[in-house]
């Protein structure tokens, strides 16, 4: 260990964790292809990874049926006061939480290997990147981190003897007694799962889950919860946003960052192929954006991740062909179904359902089975570099200049297809009041409407009232160079329960309107909720959509909007003194505007 790890803080931490968790072995990862192969071979041998004959170097994993998604109820922002974590986060005092978790960590890696994973969020060595070290007892975590982050011994070299890093401690919470046979997906019961963040000391402790954002700590824990708190302190932004580049037929580029809650189509939009002639879309990132003000006063974004951890069900050549092409090789699938010819399958994939498959729980499945073959939150982990439309500038250290912000969610009714904020302050109001129906990305009920401000409710590492203020502060800094703000809803349904908008590649029509708004080429009309496209300005050429559907998509039902007021009031009241006056003013303006239209 001494040979590879020269960093004093890291050496000390590794020793402390090893003493506490008492693993059988300690292994320092180097991020090489050989290492990946070695880990996968071990996982195959123990029957945990299933090689897919149809996809080179690709494997299927099945989780424990209790460990299938993020666990927001067990996720903590542990600041010195409850007030600092705010009303949207679970809170336990750091001393108490650390005591509980130290007791859990004691001996928790017995019978296992402790992996030390040096990784960089953002290109290694870039000034905007952050170094993390994840210690984990899960080989599944190691192979996923290889894809989702930049794992490399170069990270250790960069750290030198005294460089700083973000410690991320993870255990599946399932020690093995001597001779005890391991399960295929070890994890702890729900009451022992803790996903804990200590933003005042840039520290992450996760225990009991091996799944996705609970365990791959570079993603939600570091790149959003810890990074959002750092960003506020340091004057930048860490957001739950995809980043894409749109190029118009004249070759002009626009960069768009869009925030939608989990499993609401960020990956689909990030890789969307426009249905309108002459427009081109390239992907920069599908989940997280780190943004800083550049020397020219504009806001520049990078994608800190190295891969996609996307929702498989619903992904197909008709919804997201570029994702399908990304998934041809070198992919880890989790909780998908296995077909008899050695491929993965999920609900919504192209072609006929298989006549027989093994479902995500490892049981025989046929189309007559009463349950789905793949779990609704089944995932693929794939290298971003394999995406056929990955932007050539996706790893540019300085990032790309953002022209447009989009907020949105999954709303069956009320919210029209698209509208624009009057200005930045109004845009902050739109982000702060964003609401969406819940999805399977979290353990819990699906389909319930909840306020999910800026799609950051599960990911903001400090008081959300202060986060709103940070958005106003960023607007002040950016002034006239601030991105324009829009709100979209791809999910509005007709009275008879059918989606009104075709979505996917046709969302390019909406993005085109936004770009033309930026260029001042099209107008918009003022409504109480924002600026809506003038008739004829949305490019609907070649789209078979009835005038009635279009009208319904764009309609504003004032009674329904007024019915939102008490819920927004309740939502805002939870922030008490931390609620910015500027946001209260925007809310009053909204109420007044609706009042004028009785």
Report what 256 binds from Mn ion, ligand OXD, none; CB cut-off 5-8 Å by kind: none
Residue 575 binds which one of ligand OXD, Mn ion, none, with CB within 5 to 8 A depending on kind?
none
Q: What are phi and psi of 313, to 5 degrees?
A: -55, 135
Asked whether position 308 contacts ligand OXD by CB under 6 A, the answer is no
Read off the DSSP letter of residue 352: P
Is the Cβ of residue 262 or residue 507 nearer to Mn ion in the bound state?
262
Q: Nearest approach, Cβ of 340 to Mn ion (angstroms)?
A: 33
With respect to ligand OXD, which residue has the nearer C-beta, 78 or 262?
262
Q: What is the DSSP string of 505-568?
A: GGHHHHHHHHHHHHTT-S-EEE-SS-EEEPTTTS--TT----HHHHHHHH---HHHHHTTHHHH
Q: Which residues contact 45 (CB under 8 A, 6 or more apart)?
A: none
Q: Is 264 a catalytic residue?
A: yes
- Note the residue count of the chain: 598
C-alpha angle 372-376-378 in degrees, rounded to nearest 5: 105
Considering only residues 228 to 287 of the shown chain, the ones binding Mn ion according to CB under 5 A are 262, 287
The entry of Mn ion, ligand OXD, none near residue 213 (CB within 5 to 8 angstroms by kind) is ligand OXD
Min separation Cβ 513 and Mn ion, Å: 26
The Cα–Cα gap between 161 and 158 comes to: 9
Q: Provide the 10 A C-beta neighbour count for residue 41.
A: 12
200 to 239: interface string for ligand OXD, x by CB under 6 A: ------------xx--------------------------
User: Which helix (H) or strand (E) covers residue 44, if one does?
Assistant: helix 33-45
- Least distance (Å) from ligand OXD to the CB of residue 213? 5
Residue 407 and residue 487 in contact, taking contact as beta carbons nearer than 8 Å: yes
Q: Which position among 202, 262, 316, 436 is part of the footprint of ligand OXD (CB under 6 A)?
A: 262
One residue of 13, 194, 309, 365 binding ligand OXD per CB under 6 A = 309
Binding mask 427-466 for ligand OXD (x = CB under 6 A): --------------x-------------------------
Taking each helix axis as running N to C, give the angle between helix 565-573 and helix 581-595, from 0 to 180 degrees, rounded to the nearest 10. 170
Catalytic residue, candidates 264, 283, 460, 515: 264
What is the size of the binding site for Mn ion (CB under 5 A)? 2
Question: Of the two residues 238 and 531, which places its CB atom closer to ligand OXD in the complex?
Answer: 238
244 close to 280: Cβ distance less than 8 angstroms: no
Distance between CA 420 and CA 434 in Å, rounded?
14
> Could you tell me the smallest distance in angstroms from the CB atom of residue 292 to Mn ion?
21
Alpha-helical regions (H) of 152-226: 153-159, 212-215
Q: How far is the CB of 240 from Mn ion (least distance, A)?
A: 6
DSSP, residue by residue, 56-115: TT-EEE---TT--SB-GGGEEE--SSHHHH-TTSB---HHHHHHHHHHHHTTTTTTSEEE
Q: Which of 55, 62, 70, 411 binds ligand OXD (CB under 6 A)?
A: 70
Residue 357, φ and ψ in degrees, nearest 5? -155, 170
**Binding partner selected for residue 441 from ligand OXD, Mn ion, none, CB under the kind-specific 5 to 8 Å limit:** ligand OXD
Nearer to Mn ion, 67 or 287 (CB): 287
Residue 275 beta carbon to ligand OXD: minimum distance, rounded to whole angstroms: 26
The residues that are catalytic are 264
- Residues near Mn ion, by CB under 5 A: 262, 287
- Residues near ligand OXD, by CB under 6 A: 70, 212-213, 262, 287, 309, 441
């Amino acid at each position: 260990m001494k040979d590879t790890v020269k960093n004093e803080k890291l050496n000390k931490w590794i020793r402390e964790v090893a003493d506490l968790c008492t693993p059988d072995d300690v292994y320092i990862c180097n991020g090489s292809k050989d290492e990946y192969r070695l880990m996968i071979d071990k996982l195959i041998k123990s029957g945990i990874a299933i090689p897919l004959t149809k996809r080179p170097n690709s494997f299927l994993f099945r989780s424990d049926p209790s460990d299938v998604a993020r666990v927001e109820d067990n996720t903590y922002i542990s600041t010195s006061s409850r007030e600092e974590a705010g009303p949207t986060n679970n809170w336990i005092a750091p001393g108490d939480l650390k005591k509980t978790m130290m007791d859990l960590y004691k001996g928790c890696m017995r019978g296992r290997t402790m992996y030390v994973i040096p990784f960089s969020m953002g290109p290694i060595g870039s000034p905007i990147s952050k170094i993390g070290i994840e210690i984990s007892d899960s080989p599944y975590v190691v192979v996923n981190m290889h894809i989702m982050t930049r794992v490399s011994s170069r990270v250790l070299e960069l750290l030198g003897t005294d460089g700083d890093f973000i410690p991320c401690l993870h255990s599946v919470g399932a020690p093995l007694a001597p001779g005890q046979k391991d399960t295929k997906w070890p994890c702890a019961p729900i009451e022992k799962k803790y996903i804990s963040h200590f933003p005042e000391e840039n520290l992450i402790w996760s225990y009991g889950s091996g799944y996705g954002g609970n365990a791959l700590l570079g993603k939600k824990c570091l790149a959003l919860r810890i990074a959002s708190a750092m960003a506020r302190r340091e004057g930048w932004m860490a957001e739950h946003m995809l980043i894409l580049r749109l190029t118009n037929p004249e070759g002009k580029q626009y960069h768009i960052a869009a925030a939608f809650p989990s499993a609401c189509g960020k990956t689909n939009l990030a890789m969307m192929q426009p249905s309108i002639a002459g427009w081109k879309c390239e992907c920069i990132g599908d989940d997280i954006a780190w943004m800083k003000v550049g020397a020219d006063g504009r806001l520049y974004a990078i994608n800190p991740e190295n891969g996609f951890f996307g929702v498989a069900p619903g992904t197909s050549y008709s919804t997201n062909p570029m994702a399908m092409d990304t998934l041809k090789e070198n992919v880890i699938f989790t909780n998908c179904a296995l077909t008899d010819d050695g491929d993965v399958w999920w609900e919504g994939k192209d072609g006929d359902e298989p006549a027989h498959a093994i479902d995500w729980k490892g049981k025989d499945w046929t189309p007559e089975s009463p349950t789905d073959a793949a779990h609704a939150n089944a995932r693929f982990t794939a290298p971003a570099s394999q995406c056929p439309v990955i932007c050539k500038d996706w790893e540019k250290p300085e990032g790309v200049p953002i022209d447009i912000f989009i907020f949105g969610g999954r709303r069956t009714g009320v919210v029209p297809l698209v509208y624009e904020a009057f200005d930045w302050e109004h845009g902050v109001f739109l982000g702060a009041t964003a609401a969406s129906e819940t999805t399977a990305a979290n353990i819990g009920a699906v389909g319930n409407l909840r306020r999910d401000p800026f799609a950051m409710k599960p990911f903001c590492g400090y008081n959300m009232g202060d986060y709103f203020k940070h958005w106003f502060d960023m607007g002040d800094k950016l002034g006239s160079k601030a991105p324009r703000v829009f709100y979209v809803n791809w999910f509005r349904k007709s009275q008879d329960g059918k989606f009104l908008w075709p979505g996917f590649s046709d969302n390019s029509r909406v993005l085109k309107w936004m770009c033309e708004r930026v260029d001042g080429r099209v107008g918009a009309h003022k409504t109480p909720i924002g600026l809506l496209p003038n008739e004829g300005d949305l490019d609907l050429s070649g789209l078979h959509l009835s005038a009635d559907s279009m009208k319904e998509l764009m309609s504003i039902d004032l009674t329904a909007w007024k019915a939102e007021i008490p819920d927004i009031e309740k939502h805002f009241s939870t922030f008490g003194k931390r609620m910015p006056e500027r946001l209260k003013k925007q809310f009053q303006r909204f109420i007044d505007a609706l009042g004028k239209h009785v």
